[in-house]
Structure 1
Amino acid sequence: MKYNEISHPCHPQHTLKFEYTEFPFKCDGCKEVGIGSRYRCGMCDFDLHMHCAIPSHSIVHPFYTKCSFQFLYRPPGNVPRFCNACEKDITGFVYHCKSCGFDLHPCCAKLPMMLDDGEVKLYLYRKVSSACHKCGRKGRSWSYRSTCKKYNLHVACVREMLMESWPDIYVGRGKARSMETRIPSLKNTLQNHHHKSKGKVKKCCELAGLAVQFVISAVLGDPTTLIAGVIGSFMRG
């Protein structure tokens, strides 16, 4: 965290204050879902991810070593654009490479290359040959894969789950249980994927659930946040 209170050109009326929330919000910068750390104007119900509130002017990414991404407040040009990380539409703040035309959501551009909670390590890959536990397909968008290679989840699939759930989340405005209608489907997918003894399946799916929580946290813009109160409960039971 750099500042407790900032001014932002996209919301000049009031200052934005740093706060932490365990409930999902919609970022008014990149227009994507967020959770955890944010900058907010309570008077106007205006929210920004940390990455959107205090962006880097330009970045380079390990997956695109020949590119230079510039931060823009709106997508360039008049044609629809999509994020090269999660394959979802770009409708707000974006990191754009003028030379190659690649685009990244601010949160996708800042996805950690590794997530580690001490028990499960997940590495970010541009492409993997193993199937995603959610959609069952190979390739596609960037993916997080565990060191043991048992758990693989497309960033695009996480985005899809969140977007499917968003109407319930947003209408609920703080009712965390509104996510329960969608997120458990991933747990069932993971359970059906394995053909081991009951005990091993339970342990495997507990670890997979933990891995999913970390990926969701990262995609939502705050990989350090503990989202047990919102998503963690849907991976148990």
Structure 2
Amino acid sequence: MKYNEISHFSHTEHKLRFEYSEFPFKCDGCKEVGIGSRYKCSICDFDLHMHCAMITSPTLHHPFYTKCNFQFMSKPPGDTPRYCNACEKDVSGFLYHCKACGFDLHPCCAKLPLLLDDGEVKLYLYRKVSSPCHRCGRKGRSWSYRSKCKNYNLHVACVRDMLVENWHEVCVKGRGVNSNIPSLRNTLYTPHSSRRSKGKVKKCCEIAGLAVQVVISAVLGDPTALIAGIVGSFMSRAS
């Protein structure tokens, strides 16, 4: 459920208004990058992901960790650096923490759908997969989305890498500011056999491109976001 305006414990000075933006932002809750739907205080330039703004329960149970009881926390416990068990990125803000096991999850990672289906591509979330990632070409690493046909696999960590790298280029270095959403074209590892026909390779890349779009939307905490421009046709033009 979306509300046009909410009050939030992390920003008591003003109310936050719901808005959609194609410009990257840094969430002031979990400290991670975001694009699309958010709650924002324009006066203070304060932003929250949807999942960071709408904390509906202080506890969370995840099917990957059936023995864990995750508790929401506004900051990591203790002084030791911590990382998210889903994307393997640092945890420096909002998180779900299991005291018994020591596991941590970013709010957006904790709410990643087990199944992504955009009508053309079905992707299933796995804790670990044995096939190489289309982004880095490596196996293992973090949670992954894998297609039903098992030909397409993308680490959640790699999606975050792509987003952070492009957010840094646009917002920190000031490059490409004329384009709202940074392009991720030519950033994927494509292990195609040289014996494949050009037509088959193109079709394979088009499907993989659709898969990446769906995964990026989910990782941003906004599965319905219309952010296809992030990926565009970067893979469909492969040769």
TM bin (shorter chain): over 0.9
Deviation digits for residues 89-121 of structure 1 (CA, Å, limit 9, x no counterpart):
001000001111100000000001011111110
TM superposition shift of 1:36: 1.7
Aligned to 2:110: 109
Query: RMSD of aligned C-alpha atoms?
Result: 1.8
Unpaired runs of 5+ residues, structure 2, are none
Question: Which amino acid in structure 2 is aligned with residue 147 of structure 1?
Answer: K
Shift of 1:222: 0.8
For structure 1, the residue ranges without an aligned partner over 5 or more in a row are none
Structure 1 CA distance, aligned partners of 2:235 and 2:21?
A: 20
Paired positions, count: 233
Who is 2:205 aligned against? 205
Letter in 2 for 1:210: L
Change (3 A) 1:175 1:66: farther
Q: CA deviation at 1:153?
A: 0.6
Deviation at 1:160, TM superposition (A): 1.3
Helix, strand or coil at the partner of 2:182: helix
The worse-fitting range, judged by mean Cα deviation, of 211-220 and 77-86 is 211-220
Q: For 2:94 and 2:2, how far apart are their aligned partners in 1? A: 20
Structure 1 stretch displaced more, 166-175 or 141-150: 166-175
The match for 1:72 is 73
* Cα 1:131/1:233, change in 2 over 3 Å: closer
Q: More helix by proportion, 1 or 2?
A: 1
- The SS at the match of 2:228 is coil
Q: Give, in whole Å, the separation in 1 of the partners of 2:181 and 2:6.
A: 32
Report the equivalent of 1:53.
Answer: 53
Cα distance in 2 for residues equivalent to 1:225 and 1:116: 14
Q: What TM-score results when the alignment is normalised by the length of structure 1?
A: 0.92
What amino acid does structure 2 have at the position aligned with 1:69?
A: F
CA–CA separation in structure 2 for the residues paired with 1:46 and 1:126: 33
SS at match of 1:176: coil
1:179 correspondence with 2:179: no
Distance 1:178 1:13 in 2: 30
Q: TM-score, normalised by structure 2?
A: 0.91
Q: Secondary structure at the match of 1:134?
A: coil
